[in-house]
Amino acid sequence: MAMAQVFQNEPMRILIVEDDDLQAQILDAILTAAGFAVDVIAGGLDAVWRVREGDYDAVIVDYRLPEIDGLATAKLLGDLMGQTGRPVLIALTATPEYVNALEAGTKSAFDVVLGKSSDVAPLLAAIRQRLAAAPDRAARRAARSSLLLDAWMDYEVERPRPGAMGDDPGPARILIVEDEPSQRRLLTALFEARGYRVDATDDGLAAVRRIREGCYDLALVDYQIPGLDGLAAGRLVRDLIRESVRPRMIALTATPARLRDQEMATLSVFDEIIEKSSDFDGLLAAVARHLKASPNPTTRRAAARTLPAEAVAG
């Protein structure tokens, strides 16, 4: 029997996530020759949506990807599709020891991590072994359908926000997404001193989870964060949370012109892009402005209670 066993006369489907054109072409040719139906895509975030919409049996992910790295891609697929619904996830990397060390102490995102090599036998053997042990396609389809239905219902529900029942909404809530500890502490102290309620994280994927689970009014997102960069995190928030309830998002970056150029290739992600600076007056004014413009009336009421008088009147 051919290695790429069929399910109801369909070949096993594999998605290659690789931004190096030559490496992608080599993998495509090898796996196609082995009997698989192969698709290729260059970006991790686009791969997540392709897998959710498609029916792949395995995904081979390069660890070094732009915007969202291979490990964040695998974690996101696990979060969105569950262990039963997701395909087999295989990492290809020039530094397998480094990726394995990153996963140490946590639930592994990949089924196997392989070093890049001209010898493709280990890759083909890993695909054969992992597909044989994976839930069959029918079980994955059922699990995925259930998860997607739950995700859509979750998307449609507006979570109760502070003040929604007529109670005191309290101060406006801000999430700071910044991986540099001193900058994170500085921004936290700055906004807490202005009367805001502030939480902080150094991880883009964790930020998306917290925004979905919480009731933040505004997120300050550093562009250069590891794993899932600021632009990818912003795109996920826009995709997963309805416009009427999502927080306003301000990007902080040392290279605002570069980030604006990247945004021009897609729909705008951030409500404003601000250059990092030791002069915080402009940042404070932008935060006040966006809280006032929030589509959520509870946010506006909370902002009016905590903003300086000149910001409320402006």
Give the pLDDT confidence score for residue 163 in this predicted structure.
Answer: 57
Burial class (CB in 10 A: 0-12, 13-18, 19+), 282: exposed
Residue 111: CB atoms within 10 A of its CB come to: 21
Which two three-digit tokens encode residue 33? 């020759």
**Is domain 6-154 classified as CATH 3.40.718.10?**
no
Average pLDDT for 47-59:
85
pTM of the complete model beyond 0.75: no
Domain range list for the chain: 6-154, 165-313
Could you give the 3-state DSSP secondary structure of residue 202? coil
The larger pLDDT score, comparing residue 293 to residue 289, is at 289
Instruction: Give the right CATH number for 165-313 from 3.40.50.2300, 3.20.20.240, 3.90.180.10, 3.40.50.300.
Output: 3.40.50.2300
- Model confidence at 133, pLDDT cuts 50, 70, 90, reads confident
Give dist(CA 94, CA 239) in Å, integer: 32
- Determine the Cα–Cα distance for residues 58 and 60; give it in Å rounded to an integer: 7
pLDDT confidence of residue 6:
43
pLDDT digits (tens, 9 = 90+) for 157-180: 555 566 555 556 678 889 999 999
Average pLDDT over residues 44-71: 85
CA dihedral 71, 73, 76, 77 (to 10 degrees): -110
**Please, which pLDDT band fits residue 32 given cuts at 50, 70 and 90?**
very high
pLDDT digits (tens, 9 = 90+) for 208-251: 888 877 778 899 999 888 777 888 888 888 877 777 778 899 99
Whether residue 257 is predicted with pLDDT greater than 80 in this model: the reply is no
Q: How far apart are CA 311 and CA 22, in angstroms?
A: 54
One DSSP character per residue, 80-112 reads HHHHHHSPEEEEEES-HHHHHHHHTTS--S-SE
pLDDT at 3: 44
Report the chain's mean pLDDT, rounded to a whole number.
79
pLDDT band at 22 (very low <50, low <70, confident <90, very high): very high
More confident residue, 131 or 98: 131
Instruction: For residues 123 and 115, give the distance between their C-alpha atoms in angstroms, rounded to a whole number.
Output: 9
Q: Answer whether 6-154 and 165-313 agree in fold.
A: yes
Look up tokens 């404003």; give the residue: 272
Q: Give the separation between CA 238 and CA 208, rounded to whole angstroms.
A: 10
**Does residue 89 or residue 133 have the better pLDDT?**
89
